[in-house]
Amino acid sequence: MWSIGPIGFTAPWLLLGLVALPILWLLLRAVPPAPIRRRFPGVALLLGLEDD
Q: Is 36 a member of any domain?
A: yes
Q: Is 2 a member of any domain?
A: no
Q: Which domain holds residue 38?
A: 12-47
Q: Is 52 a member of any domain?
A: no
Q: Is 6 a member of any domain?
A: no
Q: Is 22 a member of any domain?
A: yes
CA 34 vs CA 24, 27, 39, 47, 52: distances in Å: 17, 14, 16, 32, 44
Task: Report pTM.
Answer: 0.42
Q: Is 1 a member of any domain?
A: no
Q: Is 37 a member of any domain?
A: yes
Residue 48: the pLDDT is 75
Number of domains in the chain: 1
Interval 10-51: pLDDT, tens: 677 777 888 899 999 998 889 878 889 888 878 777 887 777
Helix ranges (H only) for 1-52 are 12-30, 42-47
Q: Is 7 a member of any domain?
A: no
